[in-house]
Amino acid sequence: MPTTLAPARVPADTTTASRVADPLHLGDLEVWPPVVLAPMAGVTNAPFRTLCRRHGGGLYVSEMVGARGLVEGNHTSQWKASFAPGETPRSIQLYTIDLHDAAAATELLVTTGAPDGQGGFAPVEHLDLNFGCPAPKVTRHGGGSALPWRTDLYAAIVAATVQAAGDVPVTVKIRKGIDADHLTYLEAGRIAADLGVAAVTLHGRTAEERYGPPADWSSIARLVEAVPEVPVLGNGDIWEAADALRMVAETGCAGVVVGRGCLGRPWLFRDLQAAFAGQPIPTPPTLGEVCELVVEHAELLVEALGDHVGIRELRKHTGWYLQGFPVGGELRRALNQVTSLEQLRELLAGLDRTVPFDEAVRRQPRGHTDRPKRPVLPYGWLDSRHHGAPLPAAAAEVVSGG
């Protein structure tokens, strides 16, 4: 049975008068609260999205999926694009460096769709284009956060995707730029808006900054002013519900995109829904309730991936779930090597379920903590804003980002 944290949800029909923000509109798709789960490689798969969706509303996006892999029927790409049974809205983030791959993958996703978790296929209801990934294996090929520097290539990919998507809303996710001397976000936002995207997400860091220094929310405010005709979503340093309210108030953004803040804390979406509804933030879960979430997450992973792979995938999450709780190094090491649901339940059974959440670690980073590092780019990439020779074939084969 799904774990229920009390109070588990704020009613979706909360009166408009009590809300502190409007619903997010992406074409005909209405998102309430205006909260989006950021695509995170190896994390935001269908089981994790299911767990998060049980706590609050919003738009839950898949991890980054390679467009070329989808078109060619690559098994890994198809798995990353798969939905949970009954999942809606169905949202996919695409990575591509080629306009033809972008169009072909988009046409496939909006017509045939992706695996629906029930043996069939279901068309997507939202597409996001990844122009924000700073991982070296992506940027070294000119992809991700490096690509908007080549404005004509960037525009061609966005245009091809929007055209192929038809009535399905397309959004783009970008960073400020490559580094402080090569900023692209204002131009990239304007190009995307002119080409008909439904929204632009800005992560307030450059590729060089990775995930190190605090996110620059002032850049989000500048983009809001630059493209008033489309919603701008803010991304970066949303660790608790109060951060989301502050970002909206300070920048004027239409909603927030949450990444590392929900790692090990899927109940953040419950808190965000309460905050945007103008309601009190629920009490954080106790250690016992968190242990129930860990088991629930494991069960979802095992159901989707099988015993061996599912439990192996869980291991990366256990440290995030138990961050700040006094569980001891020996147990943490054992959880990092757990091999079955039965063993997981046994390891967690001896913990004191009444231990409260430690507020001192609420804002402690989880996930990527990379310090600034010079981006890895193709030779001569910064010499021109215009795209010449085709990118190497290896660039299109990247199916997971950072």
- Find out whether 314 and 344 touch, Cβ atoms under 8 Å: yes
Cα angle 232-238-242, degrees, rounded to a multiple of 5: 100
- Find out whether 51 and 300 touch, Cβ atoms under 8 Å: yes
For residue 184, the 8-state DSSP code is: -
Residue 262 a catalytic site member = no
β-pairing verdict for 29-31 and 24-26:
antiparallel
Residue 305 to residue 198: CA distance in whole angstroms: 33
Is residue 91 within a helix (H) or strand (E), and if so which, with residue range? Answer: strand 91-95
The residue from 52, 133, 262, 291 that is catalytic is: 133
Residue 109 to residue 125: CA distance in whole angstroms: 9
- Find out whether 268 and 243 touch, Cβ atoms under 8 Å: no
For residue 7, the 8-state DSSP code is: S
Q: How many C-beta atoms lie closer than 10 Å to residue 359's C-beta? A: 10
Residue 113 Rama label (left phi>0; alpha psi -120 to 50; beta): left
Residue type, 387: H
Of 143, 395, 365, nearest to 238 by C-alpha is: 365
Catalytic residues: 133
